[in-house]
Amino acid sequence: MNFDREPRFYASLGFDGGVWLGQGKYTEATAFVLMAKAGQAASAVTVAAYSTTGYWTKNTCITRM
């Protein structure tokens, strides 16, 4: 369902099983793979490490005041 979409989709949203580039990982061979189903790495970190929609935003805006 979330594969074979245009690049803008992958640049702004993360989803279970999707590739997450950045933080020194710039090729698909070394990229992070988001695993967030029950019992997988993202959900085992903390009870709050899940998304009710199944999507995560990759780009966040952090402002300093």
Q: Give residue limits of the domains in the chain.
A: 7-56
Q: Does the pLDDT value for residue 52 go beyond 60?
A: yes
So what's the pLDDT on residue 43? 57
Return d(Cα 21, Cα 42) in angstroms, integer: 16
* Alpha-carbon distances, residue 26 vs 6, 13, 44, 54 (angstroms): 18, 17, 25, 24
So what's the pLDDT on residue 25? 84
